[in-house]
Structure 1
């Protein structure tokens, strides 16, 4: 089934059919489309686009139409994702739930509504959860001795200064990799900015437009220049001669000159894996297993697992809405620090 032009692109905003166009209204349509495109992060929109493409391809292979939404068809699709008949691997429960969210979003953008509470969807999803649910696979936390070993492997050229600042700031700030690379030097320096920094005597204040909304992250100065994230940031900005625009940018091929292009968040993940390998962390394991253990998220997990402070401060730093979410990031903690058995008089 081919989609009408106005529905072929998710999120299309247009004038009502009965309203004649004009220069002013056409300008507002473009403005509204710009705002609509910013309703979700770029990575989320890419994932939702892939979800729709996969579902549309599945519909073609089964001889079904993706539009209008059919709860019965969606239920069959989810069953095939959980227990595929072909060579494709089965998806995890979380991936199927994410795929369902992507379809729901795509239908909404096309002017339809998908009732996820319909029994053909809800009962199938409940069964998939009951049969296939597993504890989430967590990335390894980077501990204090690990991060120090990792930054020690970096060269002392411009690229090394940048990567040292990325690792230390991401670790001390408990930042997502997208939050690290979205920073600008000042507010509103670039259209694609996701926040900015302010360096003061006691540390650096990061103002971030994160996935949970605007939040402030305080990164204090460290006990030594070698491990201080603020010092590393200052060194990078000074020698890269950056006083405007993105904080973390690409460098020339020889690593001696800062360019204008903002780094992609995938650089953070690759940097973590490379420095983990170079530092010999978990060296007792085969290389493939070591690479699979660590990711950009290991920086956030490292802060949550290592900071010996009240849990609520860690929760605030990570931007979590609940303490339970923060505890998921804590790979090591004293689970019996509060003994309710004794507190109850036993």
Structure 2
């Protein structure tokens, strides 16, 4: 029976020379280059999630006395049904999680030179039934509004670490950035191999060039009406006092918070920062702490900008890098849903 796969090992793409081609220094280097490009086809978080999906499936197969290879649509249909079925007092996995697990299996088979036909009736009909019976409206994170971000900023310390976190919150909010886009920024173009973009600072604002989830895009972050709330001023203060003129912009600090280090922050720091500031600022204090923490995430910054910017929706869509206006509307928590009234327009 196939052994479970280590998620870390699964992140490595098995690209090699054809068996009938003799190796050489040049070809071996090209294999390494191709592997690096293949790894860059998805984020580390996505690759790690897919690896975990495969490991969980192989463990399920072992417990059921089944073989994960070759792909069996009948077996995978049973696996999906088991994921969705309630257990004791606990409900099954959400539809979105099950679909993600299925994508992970498809990638796992592809990595092994095999194809999983997701349209096979044993998979497609089971998944359609799961969607019909268990699908729920998406749970959206709470948007951080202007008064909320001000309260959160007030909780930060006045040391170097506080300057960094202030710049991250303000830039993430005003830029409508994903958390990976915040920590992926470098001071200049091509500073580091793992760069997710770079920053140029001008008199009127900052231009962020991002290698984002949907491709390259530019984000213009203008200066604010006050230095206390200006994301560009906060960024300048951090860069100056941290003495950062090359490489990653948002880096770790020494234990006492007085000195900037070289290591780039992980994107999970943004989520922790948002949650910590939410608690300290007392946002949604009417709820228990666990519910408050579940309501907010790094995405709350992005949703906050979309909900608060009183400009034409097309500008918000471009700023966030959305392909459609409908996606932008999903982020707008307090837009006027009935601004366009087709009932009256139809004469009623």
User: TM-score, length-normalised on structure 2?
Assistant: 0.95
Task: Report the RMSD for the aligned CA atoms in angstroms.
Answer: 1.5
State the Cα distance separating 1:85 from its structure 2 match: 4.8
Match of residue 316, structure 2, among 295, 314, 317 = 314
State the Cα distance separating 1:177 from its structure 2 match: 0.7
- Maintained 8 Å contact 1:11/1:110: no
Match of 1:123 in 2: 125
Match of 1:270 in 2: 272
Match of residue 141, structure 2, among 117, 139, 153 = 139
Give the match's secondary structure for 1:75: helix
Looking at structure 1, the residues matched to 104 and 202 of structure 2 have their Cα atoms a distance apart, in angstroms, of 42
State the Cα distance separating 1:108 from its structure 2 match: 1.1
Match of 2:209 in 1: 207
Match of residue 169, structure 2, among 167, 170, 181 = 167
Looking at structure 2, the residues matched to 29 and 220 of structure 1 have their Cα atoms a distance apart, in angstroms, of 44
Give the match's secondary structure for 2:195: coil
State the Cα distance separating 1:308 from its structure 2 match: 0.8
State the Cα distance separating 1:28 from its structure 2 match: 0.8
- Maintained 8 Å contact 2:201/2:207: yes
Give the match's secondary structure for 1:64: coil
Q: Which runs of 5+ in 2 are unaligned?
A: none
Looking at structure 2, the residues matched to 181 and 311 of structure 1 have their Cα atoms a distance apart, in angstroms, of 27
Match of residue 342, structure 2, among 330, 336, 340 = 340
Looking at structure 2, the residues matched to 99 and 342 of structure 1 have their Cα atoms a distance apart, in angstroms, of 46
Aligned residues: 343
Looking at structure 2, the residues matched to 11 and 296 of structure 1 have their Cα atoms a distance apart, in angstroms, of 29
State the Cα distance separating 1:11 from its structure 2 match: 2.4
- Maintained 8 Å contact 2:2/2:67: no
Matches within 5 A, 1:32-181: 32-83=34-85, 85=87, 89-181=91-183
Q: Which runs of 5+ in 1 are unaligned?
A: none
Looking at structure 2, the residues matched to 171 and 101 of structure 1 have their Cα atoms a distance apart, in angstroms, of 31
State the Cα distance separating 1:84 from its structure 2 match: 5.0
Match of 1:250 in 2: 252
Give the match's secondary structure for 1:209: strand
User: TM-score, length-normalised on structure 1?
Assistant: 0.96
1:174-209, CA deviations, whole angstroms, 9 ceiling, x for partnerless residues?
111111001000011111111111111111111111
Most deviating of 20-29 and 179-188: 20-29
